[in-house]
Amino acid sequence: MTIGTELTRAQVFAQDGFVVTGSLLSTAEVETYRELYDRFLSGEIESGDKRSDLGSHVPRQGVEENITQIMWPTALYPPLLDMPLHSRALAMAKELIGGDAVFDFDMMIHKPARSGVPTPWHQDAAYWLDLPDKRAVSIWVALDEAVIDNGCMWYIQGSHEQPLRPHYPTSDGKNIQCSCSEDEPGATAVPLQAGEGVAHAGSTLHYSRGNTTGGVRRAYVLNFRSTDMLRLERELGYDVGLTNNIRTVRNAGAVDSDN
Ligand SMILES: O=C(O)CCC(=O)C(=O)O
């Protein structure tokens, strides 16, 4: 598909390290996903150790997580695999990184109303093994309108072309972060309507502000990489938290050489 008069969506993705996908879910479908999402959040669908707090570096005000992260919703509730989003996101991933793209893992990231905790700046590839073929795409789908004040995604345009930055554990040691800010050249906020998506590459710098609004910000994120690299990743014993949900710096390229 051509965006504007010049570049295709795949070319924008290759150039900027992110691209808006347009609508991936109808209004009715968004409602179905929200209902399912809320069953995860309420605990009706159990998530066990797959559930954690991506904002745990900030003391919690209530019982809910600052930023609820549920890894592998499809493993916890396999019917999700047959719902529309997975096939549409796979088609988008093939368009963006090539026909050999396959599903790697998925996650839910929820910012409760007035939780106010930013997602730390990071590059996903810092969490992952350093694979020879680095093609990877995350498709971040808004289930609520995502705006700056409730935590829409921010990216640094072109950052996927730069070496990975050193990453450090967050102050509580549960997640990782790197040095970056909205003041860097190329910093771009990507507001979305519910049902729309934005795709980013594995090495694109990203973050989101805290949710200071009275509404929730629910996002569903689907990740894809090449068939061969998925096989290699699993052979090397890494399954992105499926058996052992511990997040740390795994990519040698993101380890601070001073440490
Ligand atoms: O939803 C967020 O705030 C962060 C999402 C994220 O880090 C990701 O999709 O890789």
* CATH classification of the domain holding 69: 2.60.120.620
CA of 207 relative to ligand 1 center, distance in Å: 7
User: Interhelix angle for 27-42 vs 84-97, to 10°?
Assistant: 110
Q: Which residue carries 């893992």 as its tokens?
A: 105
> How many structural domains compose the chain?
1
Interval between CA 38 and ligand 1 midpoint (Å): 18
Residue 259 belongs to a domain: no
Q: Domain limits at 247?
A: 2-254
* Residue with CA at minimum distance from ligand 1 atom 10: 124
Residue ranges, the chain, pLDDT below 50? 259
Interval 195-208: pLDDT, tens: 999 999 999 999 99
Residue at 205 is within a domain: yes
- In a domain? residue 56: yes
pLDDT tens-digit profile of 203-234? 999 999 999 999 999 999 999 999 999 999 99
Enter the pTM of the model.
0.96
CB 3 within 8 A of CB 21: no
User: Is 196 within a domain?
Assistant: yes
Asked if the structure places residue 154 within a domain, the reply is: yes
Q: For residues 229-258, b (16+ Cβ closer than 10 Å) or e, as one string?
A: bbebbeeeebbbbeeebebebbbebbbeee
Read off the pLDDT of residues 159-208 as tens digits, 9 standing for 90 and up. 999 999 999 999 888 899 999 999 999 999 999 999 999 999 999 999 99
